[in-house]
Amino acid sequence: MKKNMGSADRIIRTIIALIAAYLYFGGIVTGTLGIVLVVVAAVFLLTSLVSFCPLYSIVGLNTCSVKK
């Protein structure tokens, strides 16, 4: 897998994942919506850790800076 996420994108995804986890585990969002929120948070966290987003590949987007 070639990296296609820049550092700013990774930081934003991590922050969103942490907020979503807080909302679920804090009891603010419950039920089916809470479970969906946790799954989305897990995907965001995983993609930010590996610096690769499959959706970006499909769309052709690359936020990773090019080193020359």
Whole-number pLDDT of residue 1: 78
Whole-number pLDDT of residue 68: 55
Residue 57 has pLDDT above 60, yes or no: yes
Percent of the chain with pLDDT strictly greater than 90: 79
**Token output for 25:** 């585990």
Whole-number pLDDT of residue 67: 66
**Stated pTM of the model:** 0.85
Phi, psi angles (nearest 5°) of residue 45? -65, -40
Residue 63 corresponds to which amino acid? T
Residue 33 corresponds to which amino acid? L
Task: Over range 23-32, report the average pLDDT.
Answer: 95
Task: Over range 5-20, report the average pLDDT.
Answer: 94
How many helices (H) and strands (E) the chain has is answered by 3, 0
